[in-house]
């Protein structure tokens, strides 16, 4: 699976579910954000905005889980 598919899947799950993400999904989301932190600087400049927005989306979702 691609990183955007995983993050997008977590977002869809969150929006379609009455509760928060389960622990496994939170861990997967955190791993994806860590991967993006390591990889984004290595990407071509034209690709970086997409992955920075993707990281921001994942970060916002993870932040909702911490504050819930």
Section 38-53 average pLDDT: 94
d(CA 49, CA 43): 10
Domain residues for 29? 3-67
CA within 13 Å, CB half, 41:
3
In whole angstroms, give the CA distance from residue 42 to residue 34: 14
pLDDT for the residue 65: 86
Number of domains in the chain: 1
pLDDT digits (tens, 9 = 90+) for 17-42: 988 999 999 999 999 999 999 999 99
Work out the percent of the chain whose per-residue pLDDT is above 90: 87
Q: What percent of the chain clears pLDDT 70, i.e. is strictly above it?
A: 96
| pLDDT over threshold 60, residue 68 | no
* Res 19: pLDDT: 85
Rounded to an integer, what distance in angstroms lies between the CA atom of residue 35 and that of residue 68? 24
């Amino acid at each position: 699976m691609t990183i955007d598919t995983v993050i997008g899947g977590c977002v869809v799950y969150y929006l379609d579910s009455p509760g928060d993400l389960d622990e496994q999904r939170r861990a997967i989301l955190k791993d994806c954000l860590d991967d993006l932190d390591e990889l984004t600087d290595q990407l071509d400049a034209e690709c970086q905005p997409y992955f920075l927005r993707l990281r921001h989306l994942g970060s916002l979702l993870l932040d909702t889980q911490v504050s819930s």
